[in-house]
Amino acid sequence: MDAASLLTGLLLGALLATAATLGVVALLSRRRPANEGLEPVHESLDHLHRLLAGMERARATAHGELREQMGTVGQTSTLLRQETAALVTALRTPHVRGRWGEVQLRRVVEVAGLLEHCDFVEQPSATNDAGAGVRPDLVVTLADGRQVVVDAKVPFTGYIEAVQAEEVAVRAERVAAHARQLRAHVDTLSARRYPTAFRPAAPFTVLFVPSDGFLTTALEAEPGLLEYGFARDVVLATPSTLLALLRTVAYSWRQERLARDADQVLEVGRRLHARLTTLSGHLTRLGSALGAAMTRYNETVGSYEGSVLVASRRFDDLGVAEAPVPSPQPLEATIRTLRPAETPVTDDGREETRDGTTG
């Protein structure tokens, strides 16, 4: 319910209440003198006057607020109409339209997770087999080294005119013109022979349509437009379909990197195994040398005790020496040898059997 309806209802209610009050006053005035009968009437009229004045102020305030809101809505509508007209005018300009398509293509590539200068290159220059210079908007590199060419310069002036058309017949004519423009652009891309300029390349060119509505509207007038492009090695892709294609490419790149990393890990493992083999040989020879040295040491200690210390004890018995010559002790430790890899060994050096016991 708006403010005017509410004020009208309040006014009618006040009038009905006043009429009822006047009726009661008239009935009571018959039983009272003239002066006493007019006093309630004056009070009721004063109250009604105050009530009507308050309602008028409320109505004026509500009307002012409503007028202000309508003015704001009008300004917003005018600004929106101006901005829309400016956008339509800008999209009619070829270089602005092309730049918008390039920005949309860049966003799709970023969402797909590809890396610049590694998985794709923007606007590279090349020469096709006919000797003509070409410059697509994007070249995507596949994991196997092949390249996919993407072009984003799509005309859609007919689509804008179809959206602005108010009559059904005019809209149908503009939609047909939009389909013809898109079909002519397919022929243009096919004639540029992009795959021959980037080798090795996939045998088709991706025509990026910046909006799904552009392609859907064109298919209304020409349902066979996709097949027409396939026959000329041109694939029409909207942001959703191109995103699926690029996500597949990004997945193949991740798998390629994982496979390459796995090969590197295998190579590092082979080198480590070879170095461990060399180190094991060194440890084996070192253990043999330590065992031989220990044996020679014990033999020397035995010879020293049997021949030299016997003579030195005579000095001790004669009281010539101030202190006895200390006797060196033989070494009883054993050298721990390396076990085969399939035989587990506990921390104390004992071999562990298959049932978990040590021996």
Q: Which pLDDT band holds residue 354 (cuts at 50, 70, 90)?
A: very low
In the predicted structure, residue 113 carries a pLDDT above the cut 80: no
| Contacts (Cβ under 8 Å, ≥6 apart) of 19 | none
In the predicted structure, residue 230 carries a pLDDT above the cut 70: yes
Domain residue spans of the chain:
3-90, 97-237
In the predicted structure, residue 247 carries a pLDDT above the cut 90: no
Q: What is the pLDDT of residues 117-142, one digit of tens each?
A: 567 788 888 888 888 888 888 888 87
pTM of the model: 0.47
Q: What is the pLDDT of residues 21-80, one digit of tens each?
A: 666 656 655 555 545 556 776 777 777 778 888 888 888 888 888 888 877 777 777 666
Buried b (16+ CB within 10 A) or exposed e, 143-161: beeebbbbbbbbbbbbbbb
